[in-house]
Structure 1
């Protein structure tokens, strides 16, 4: 209060600290708030300006800062040169800037630090910073940052009860290197989903199932992940991967997106007219890809028709339908290796209608929030849609029938697979609504068995809760032939369930009796809000909803790998490549926190 010159003309009211009294006219002025943190001097200054001009002029004079006299001491020559000396490599400033440079270089070739343009940029930003060379970054900074990221990941993993994983194999084009990925997925105690890259390691030699088993065991051992903590491992449908899961005894799941793609492939090849259209489309695309002049002419046609400039891609049917007029106009003036008839264009349109749900479904299950709970409902919805007869089926009924049969065959047993069935039951958007009526009793029994296993250590204790009139004397028991003994015997025979089992049944019945959430709802937000009401179900949800339904995370990881290992960085060792990929994908976890 005394720091402002305005208080030379005011004082605080003795009756109310929210008011200030003018020393000149004794008027009470509000101090600008109801709490001391909100008090200000604006009203008092305004009062002086409008009512007391002489005092206001005095206030302005007092408010002007006292000018600081200029220093008469000039720095010495040695002090001037010292100020321009580069930072020592042991200084905090140099280490901090180098860390940021390393974070930037993880997205670029390591040799960028030796680029003249980069060094000129750094010198302009801070002339005293001398950036290290590529070798220092590779040998010192990269391992240090990698270790920092791994330490952060290790802390995150401590909050995981069960984990699911995705894995895939990728071969680089720029150099002879194969990488085996492992991404981890878990739900923490606050029901937040975590997707983490654990490994992207060199995988040399023959990719046999035995080699895969040894690699997986080694990766899990590195992170101290026990077998009982592994909930599921998502892979593609490759035979070596499937055999590795069986041989190692890992709970494996197939990538749903890959399985759908196999079904689509069967449907397209089943009808000769559709496969012929596909072959013709590839010839047309090949014509434009090998002729820049042809592409230029096509772009001119698109501009003339007022269409956006789009390039044709093989096997992307939506692009073909949109470019129907452009291709027809182009063929009228220029030669094409083949063209589509009116009938074939109609077949293309009908085939697009059939495949549209597959595209929509693939995008849905490829999202970062999709889980194994989505598989059964998605398959049920897809098969029901394929079973309906619509007008657009004309000419493509064979393909549609084969698609339906392929989907049913490839997902024949998902209703009875525990990982899928329990995950679906634990998703408040689905529960048991997507199971056939005849199968529901079996699924319910499976559900209760799984919850009993999870509830052994998670259920609140009931032994300490005493119900009035239920206590029994432990030192006295009724005679064996007494009427009371018969009452007790009948009760024990009829009970058949422990207190924990009774609580589980109660939770299950209440959970299933409530309406399902909308499909746009957030399952994890539901369990965070209801973990107090359904403690056993919530713990099981952390395990079963952490599993994705596709191995897309590993495929996205290899998109990152393709950017790390390219023609400009084709001499990277596999270890350095893994460190760069892991840092690039996991660093946002640290930056966001």
Structure 2
């Protein structure tokens, strides 16, 4: 026994079970490995190449891994403890999987290495030894990523058409670029995948457009996507080539708001004053507590808005409007505070309060539209742009008492009329709107109706021609007939084919027009209904299905990077602080798993 104990003194044996003098079993994967020369060198080399996280622990004075010893002790005493006290390897794997999922969902990487979390795990699972963070990172970058990536390729292969969307979002020096894919399956299920996720820093942001093109090309090659399957590529403002036409609806709408604000000096001054007031209460806790007392205790109002607690303002496009909305909630308390403290700096006059309130009313429909677009397809772009224009025309008429707000609404309407013209006349958005049974031709003029009809007929003909087989070649041996007959037969053959093709085309065009007439004559469905479900339940329009799947996959917004960045804050902060030594490739893999968590991880 003493000799055997001495032969297993190496820390390598915390990971292996000695089966004989020449072989050992790795405790995690239960695979048998040869010891070759009966030493531990080959076992160490296996850890170093295949399990670097475990290998790093061999050089630590405090042994992190006690699992091997505990499992051996468990086997020797199982007859005394009974099966209910056993902690099999399967439960350890389940714990590993749970911790990995928690990290993917943005559990702080620091927490796993913290003393408190370690103590908690000792109470919950005394026999489970927490591994170094790199161990869990390796599971994400190897096992989870490969599983998701394989599932992604399998899912993409089932789609006939795909729309690619690029999005870049930056905040506090952190940038995140995403490439997404949208498609509709043969059973009319909307599919959404995040194909690539790349962290960006200032160095890369100097030439974003060329980087985006490379990422698209590399991803298409890596995923083996046929180029004829990719119908459209939609980019937000940050990923477009400078001075190129932007086709992201939310980017355009935000640009319109910024343009209208930049042209209104009175609103700019009022906004600056509101920011100063908020900062005043942020810097002085005495002033803040006084304001809080007035609002909550003396006026018996709801809890004071959190805007006064945040030292940094939100980078969102509408942050200034959110700030002014918060001030409106404490309007009475601010007025009382300014009077009691004789503080003109934070005093807002009645006409200024009116402008704050009216400005927020003007902007509210735009905020609602951008929120709707974040979850809908391009079919809603033209209708909602028309609705915003109508709202602005009403505002100009209703708020005539305030020249400042009338001017702002007028400039905003003017910006929409000019900047959104390319968008509302883009055939992609026209077709998407027409193929949405909630809207059809309701927002088109006669010219646009004809444009969409012609495009529908063209695409239907293209689909028909793509599926048509070429006419069979004649088997007549022309050398056995005289020259006159040979010439006549050849010309006759061509004429017959042309006439047959012409008749077929005329019949097909007639059939297509009847089909479109039938679709146009059906009543539009309720605006809250799902257009995809409507198409699925109407097989009589099967000829239109390939076109429907092509255009109803286009998203209305390119804003996913903002969502992913917000739920990856812990991970990116940990990585950027150099507490986690990761390659750029592995960072991209972890972001990929985060982005597709809940989409590709269910199998």
TM-score bucket (shorter structure): 0.7 to 0.9
Q: Where does 1:245-260 land on structure 2 (aligned, <5 Å)? A: 254-260=247-253
User: Contact 1:425/1:432 (CA < 8 Å) preserved in 2?
Assistant: yes
Q: Where does 1:263-302 land on structure 2 (aligned, <5 Å)? A: 263-302=256-295
Q: Secondary structure at the match of 1:182?
A: strand
Q: Quote the offset at 1:140 in angstroms.
A: 4.2
User: Contact 1:168/1:180 (CA < 8 Å) preserved in 2?
Assistant: yes
CA distance in 1, matches of 2:528, 2:174: 42
Query: Corresponding residue for 1:518?
Result: 526
Assess, with a 3 A threshold, how the Cα gap between structure 1 residues 366 and 394 changes in structure 2: closer, same or farther. Answer: farther
User: Contact 2:78/2:86 (CA < 8 Å) preserved in 1?
Assistant: no
Gaps of 5+ in 2: 1-74, 308-318, 472-487, 489-495
Q: Secondary structure at the match of 1:315?
A: helix
CA distance in 1, matches of 2:451, 2:101: 53
Gaps of 5+ in 1: 1-74, 247-251, 464-479, 481-487
Assess, with a 3 A threshold, how the Cα gap between structure 1 residues 296 and 194 changes in structure 2: closer, same or farther. Answer: farther
The counterpart of 1:554, out of the listed 540, 558, 561, is: 561
Query: Corresponding residue for 1:41?
Result: none
The counterpart of 1:502, out of the listed 501, 507, 510, is: 510
User: Contact 1:166/1:554 (CA < 8 Å) preserved in 2?
Assistant: no
User: Contact 2:163/2:233 (CA < 8 Å) preserved in 1?
Assistant: yes
CA distance in 2, matches of 1:383, 1:510: 31
User: Contact 1:181/1:201 (CA < 8 Å) preserved in 2?
Assistant: yes
User: Contact 2:168/2:236 (CA < 8 Å) preserved in 1?
Assistant: no
Count of residue pairs the alignment pairs up: 480
Query: Corresponding residue for 1:468?
Result: none
The more displaced of 198-207 and 77-86 is 77-86
Q: Quote the offset at 1:407 in angstroms.
A: 0.2
The counterpart of 1:191, out of the listed 188, 191, 195, is: 188
Query: Corresponding residue for 2:255?
Result: 262
Does 2:309 align with 1:311? Answer: no
Does 2:187 align with 1:180? Answer: no
- The C-alpha deviation readout for 1:348-387, integer Å capped at 9, x for no partner, is 22222222221221221122xx111111111122223323
Per the normalisation by structure 2, the TM-score is 0.72
Q: Quote the offset at 1:272 in angstroms.
A: 2.8
User: Contact 1:99/1:141 (CA < 8 Å) preserved in 2?
Assistant: no
- The C-alpha deviation readout for 1:1-36, integer Å capped at 9, x for no partner, is xxxxxxxxxxxxxxxxxxxxxxxxxxxxxxxxxxxx
**Structure of larger gyration radius:** 1
Q: Quote the offset at 1:556 in angstroms.
A: 0.9
User: Contact 1:236/1:551 (CA < 8 Å) preserved in 2?
Assistant: yes
Assess, with a 3 A threshold, how the Cα gap between structure 1 residues 458 and 126 changes in structure 2: closer, same or farther. Answer: farther
Assess, with a 3 A threshold, how the Cα gap between structure 1 residues 296 and 535 changes in structure 2: closer, same or farther. Answer: same
Q: Secondary structure at the match of 1:413?
A: helix
Q: Quote the offset at 1:243 in angstroms.
A: 5.2
Query: Corresponding residue for 1:100?
Result: 98
The more displaced of 405-414 and 339-348 is 339-348
CA distance in 2, matches of 1:170, 1:499: 51
The counterpart of 1:374, out of the listed 375, 380, 386, is: 380
Does 2:596 align with 1:586? Answer: yes
The more displaced of 112-121 and 140-149 is 112-121
Does 2:420 align with 1:411? Answer: yes
User: Contact 1:416/1:443 (CA < 8 Å) preserved in 2?
Assistant: no
Q: Quote the offset at 1:274 in angstroms.
A: 2.0
Q: Secondary structure at the match of 2:194?
A: strand
Q: Quote the offset at 1:144 in angstroms.
A: 1.1
The more displaced of 288-297 and 114-123 is 114-123
Assess, with a 3 A threshold, how the Cα gap between structure 1 residues 424 and 357 changes in structure 2: closer, same or farther. Answer: same
Q: Secondary structure at the match of 1:566?
A: helix
Q: Quote the offset at 1:449 in angstroms.
A: 1.7
User: Contact 1:458/1:536 (CA < 8 Å) preserved in 2?
Assistant: no
Assess, with a 3 A threshold, how the Cα gap between structure 1 residues 150 and 493 changes in structure 2: closer, same or farther. Answer: closer
Q: Quote the offset at 1:261 in angstroms.
A: 1.3
- The C-alpha deviation readout for 1:305-333, integer Å capped at 9, x for no partner, is 22222134743233233322121122112
Q: Quote the offset at 1:181 in angstroms.
A: 1.4
Q: Where does 1:309-348 land on structure 2 (aligned, <5 Å)? A: 309-312=304-307, 314-316=320-322, 317-334=324-341, 335=343, 337-348=345-356
User: Contact 1:87/1:130 (CA < 8 Å) preserved in 2?
Assistant: no
Q: Quote the offset at 1:432 in angstroms.
A: 1.1
Assess, with a 3 A threshold, how the Cα gap between structure 1 residues 319 and 448 changes in structure 2: closer, same or farther. Answer: farther
Q: Quote the offset at 1:419 in angstroms.
A: 0.8
Q: Secondary structure at the match of 2:300?
A: coil
Q: Secondary structure at the match of 1:194?
A: strand
CA distance in 1, matches of 2:140, 2:195: 20
Does 2:357 align with 1:349? Answer: yes
CA distance in 1, matches of 2:262, 2:77: 83
